[in-house]
Structure 1
């Protein structure tokens, strides 16, 4: 048995947010406000750049949290 197609979009569709292009947000943040958001495991960075990002992050915010877990 086939169900008929809805003639109107669901009103719940308005409740869903739109997808955000995170790289575009990061790019605008850098261009407009000189805010840099980068992960130390970003594949676009080479080994030296990753080390610099880690060093800056550790200096500004401290090293990795010690959780007491043994990985």
Structure 2
């Protein structure tokens, strides 16, 4: 039997990175919640404009400052 490698206790304190795109995808697939940035380069101009208009309709215009 191989000896277990030493595991530093500080390893538990390192933050785990979260794959935000995976979280967004799961939210859409499981709960039909869509999180999208209006500046997402995967969207064309019309799609970005639609996202912007929906956001403004639901939450108002962007605040300056």
Unmatched segments (≥5 aa) in structure 2: none
- Counterpart of 2:38 in structure 1 is 40
Q: Which moved more, 1:7-16 or 1:46-55?
A: 7-16
Using the alignment, how far apart are the partners of 2:13 and 2:60 within structure 1? Answer: 39
- Quote the RMSD (CA, aligned, Å): 1.3
Measured after TM superposition, the shift of residue 18 of structure 1 is 1.7
Counterpart residue number, 2:54: 56
The TM-score with structure 2 as length reference comes to 0.84
Tell me the SS of whatever aligns to 1:45: coil
Q: Structure 1: which 5+ residue stretches go unaligned? A: 1-6
Q: Which runs of 4+ in 1 moved over 3 A?
A: none
State the partner residue of 1:18.
16
